[in-house]
Amino acid sequence: MHIPDGYLSPATCAVGLVVAVPMAAVACRKIGRTVKSRQVPTLAMLSAVCFLIMMFNVPIPDGTTAHAVGGALVAVLLGPWAALVAVAVALAFQALLFGDGGVLAYGVNVVNMAIVLPFVAIGIYRLIARGAALTAGRRVIAAAVGGYVGLNAAALCCGIELGIQPDLFHTADGAPLYSPYHLSQSIPAMALAHLSVAGVVEAVITGGVVAYLQRANLPLLRLNHPGVLEDGVAAATAQPGKIRPIVWAVGAVVLMVALTPLGLLAPGGAFGEDSPGDLNLKELGLTAVPTGLARYTGFWKHTLLDGYGFSSGDHPTLGYLLSALVGILVVGAAVFLIAALVRAVSGRRSAASAAGATPPAVTSAVGFSTVDTGSAAASSPAGPAGSSPVDPR
């Protein structure tokens, strides 16, 4: 689902940025208000989890691969705006450091995986889980269905974006300039990969984690469920769990790093992510690689570990593990700094607003500021009952 550079026209990429940038700005403002300071490390770790989940390629029956994202899980735990920031940061460093997804196509990838996925997932989750206790099995089902539908909604958007390119951008004789796949090819390919396999993985991850947290770490579930009852007991009065959310998140990251080499076992590549030299031109009815695709492929040439490995191709397992470690450090640190900065700016603005709302002292005609009558009466010299403490005469 990571659209590389060259498959989308510059105009399409620009539209993606026009949508993604304002949404990201709103997300930063939202998490400044909703994500507490103690939750910032958890958000950073969950962003690293999303990065690692996207490194796990799973085989698809047609010979390609696909992956889950983890955005639905972050949306359920911390809200969709936090998920937007977490996934968007992970996507940025995947493109910049590892060549996974295009730099020019970054805005479109953010729209699909950081906006469509978490917002659709949380909508489905809330619809199904409405009124259920925090420990109810219905919330596990709601999280799984939300993850499944959210990922497939993002895949559908990706298929449409790739499929409209030949009709919108082509040469005078009808040859495509960018993506060579028409809607009749892109939508079925994306649907097969995500309805059959990747969506199931997203559902299992989201529902499975929620089910685990219901038994082992309710405090992490409570973060995005204020006031929701736990088997008839108000969440605010329930006993805290033994495992802090950040400890759980770090443990999840360590486990994911250890398992990342499994992503190397999936044969083939993802649909719509082939390099120009790997395209089957005859099957696509083309005589040459689309000119725009050839021009913009490899636009960003400063990757650290291209394709999550060494440029020589040696020691793929070591390269994959090193990529995972570099990724979680960079992504986690970036999200932590962004969230901490947003929290600090939001706190200063709130303090400034509070200070500005304090009514100033009113100055009397003789140059003295007035005070509250009750305070004045308490501090003024005692006089006869009902009389002024100072004789006006």
CA distance 56 to 52: 7
CA distance 62 to 69: 21
Instruction: List, in sequence order, every beta strand (DSSP E) within the chain.
Output: 58-59, 65-66, 229-230, 233-234
CATH architecture of the domain covering 10-337: Orthogonal Bundle (1.10)
Token representation of residue 160: 């449409």
What is this structure's pTM? 0.85
Q: What is the pLDDT of residue 380?
A: 45
CA distance 178 to 166: 7
Q: What is the pLDDT of residue 340?
A: 87
Count each helix (H run) and each strand (E run) in the chain, helices first: 16, 4
CA atoms within 13 A on the CB side of 334: 19
CA distance 82 to 344: 16
Q: How far apart are the first and last CA of the chain?
A: 88
DSSP 8-state code for residue 3: P
Q: What is the pLDDT of residue 311?
A: 86
- Cα Rg for the chain, rounded, in angstroms? 27
CA distance 152 to 196: 10
Stretches where the chain sits below pLDDT 70 are 231-246, 248-249, 357-393
Q: Hey, where are the domains in the chain?
A: 10-337
Total number of residues shown for the chain: 393
Give whole-number Cα distances, 125 to 120, 210, 211, 213, 233, in Å.
Answer: 9, 12, 14, 16, 21
Token representation of residue 233: 């007991």
Give whole-number Cα distances, 97 to 73, 241, 331, 332, in Å.
Answer: 24, 38, 11, 14
Short-list 110, 121, 143, 80, CA closest to 1: 110
Angle between helices 137-163 and 117-129 (to 10 degrees): 150
